[in-house]
Amino acid sequence: MKRPVRIALLCLCPIFAYLGLAAAWAAHVHDGLAAALPAPHGSALSPRQTAILLAVEDPDFQTHAGISIARGQGLATLTSAVTRDFYLMDARLGGAAGVLQRFYAQVQRCCKAIDLGRDAMALVLDARMPKDRQLDYYIGHVYMGTQAGVQVHGLALAALLYAGKPLAALSEHDFVRLVAMIKAPNQYHPLRQPAALAERVARIEALLAGRCKPAGWSDTLLQGCTHKDGGV
């Protein structure tokens, strides 16, 4: 084996070991964490609302295995968002499992843009948790900014606080406003950043209407939906 190849393999070995440990840990603790979850609510979204959410946040959700590079999705999937909260944020584990949980949580906080450990865990979670359960969890846990100094989690609560209505009573435009916030809830806050939110809503509505498409797999800002493309 040539020297450059050996060096490359030696450099990759710690990465593979880290990913393997992350996946093995996720598989080991999954059933215990899942048993502690409350019963699923059943999707609080209508079929149209679900289609809008997935078109923006995770267009390959129903078919990918936990990770994807679909057009406009970037590195994150709905499954990876659920993975972060399910494994690292919601429940505190004890013993050696808890030590690893705190370690992975710290890695997520400092290096979330490049942490492949979460992706390894996402593969485990997608194999263990049905898609409808993932969607239910995401709808109830997704971070939706702060209001009056309190963190808002879940689309149902966000609908009441920001639109003054339950999810089922939202117009399509109002629901798109909620979905538009998910990318950066405080940057697109409806009360503090209405102009930024309105621009993102217009891009999403152009996307949904088929007037534009993302400019590549990493275009989560929908820069492809601009004036020249028939968007904003």
The range of the structural domain enclosing residue 201 comes to 142-232
Pairwise CA distance, residues 193 & 49, whole Å: 23
Is 47 a member of any domain? no
18: Cα separation from own chain's centroid:
22
Same domain assignment for residues 37 and 111: yes
Same domain assignment for residues 106 and 188: no
Is 2 a member of any domain? yes
Digit-coded pLDDT (tens) for 62-76: 999 998 877 767 778
Highest mean pLDDT among 13-27, 108-122, 126-140: 126-140
Q: What does each C-alpha distance from 232 to 25, 97, 201, 206, 227 come to in angstroms?
A: 45, 48, 9, 7, 5
End position of a domain, from candidates 129, 155, 172: 129
* Per-residue pLDDT band at 231 (split at 50, 70, 90): low
End position of a domain, from candidates 85, 100, 129: 129
Q: What is the pLDDT of residue 109?
A: 72
Is 70 a member of any domain? yes
Same domain assignment for residues 116 and 163: no
Same domain assignment for residues 76 and 172: no
- Max CA separation in the chain (angstroms): 66
Q: Is the pLDDT of residue 6 over 60?
A: no
- Count of structural domains within the chain: 2
Same domain assignment for residues 85 and 161: no
Is 182 a member of any domain? yes
Highest mean pLDDT among 37-41, 70-74, 205-209: 205-209
Helix (H) or strand (E) segment spanning residue 152:
strand 150-153
Give CB contacts under 8 A, 24+ apart, made by 71-74: 71/213, 71/214, 71/216, 71/217, 71/219, 72/207, 72/213, 72/214, 72/216, 72/217, 72/219, 72/220, 72/222, 72/224, 73/217, 73/220, 74/217, 74/218, 74/219, 74/220
- Specify the amino acid at residue 49: Q
* Per-residue pLDDT band at 8 (split at 50, 70, 90): very low
Is 48 a member of any domain? no
Same domain assignment for residues 203 and 118: no
- Specify the amino acid at residue 179: V
What residues contact 219, with CB distance under 8 A and at least 6 apart?
71, 72, 74
Digit-coded pLDDT (tens) for 139-197: 999 999 998 888 999 999 999 999 999 999 999 999 999 999 999 999 999 999 999 99
Same domain assignment for residues 125 and 146: no
Q: What is the pLDDT of residue 164?
A: 94
Q: What is the pLDDT of residue 204?
A: 96
Is 136 a member of any domain? no
Read off the CATH number of the domain in which 208 is found.
Answer: 1.10.3810.10
Digit-coded pLDDT (tens) for 73-103: 777 899 999 998 999 886 778 888 888 888 8
Is 51 a member of any domain? no
Same domain assignment for residues 102 and 212: no
- Strand, coil or helix: what is 142? coil
Pairwise CA distance, residues 68 & 73, whole Å: 8
Is 52 a member of any domain? no
Helix (H) or strand (E) segment spanning residue 82:
helix 78-83
**R_g (Cα) of the chain, nearest Å:** 19
Mean pLDDT of the chain: 86
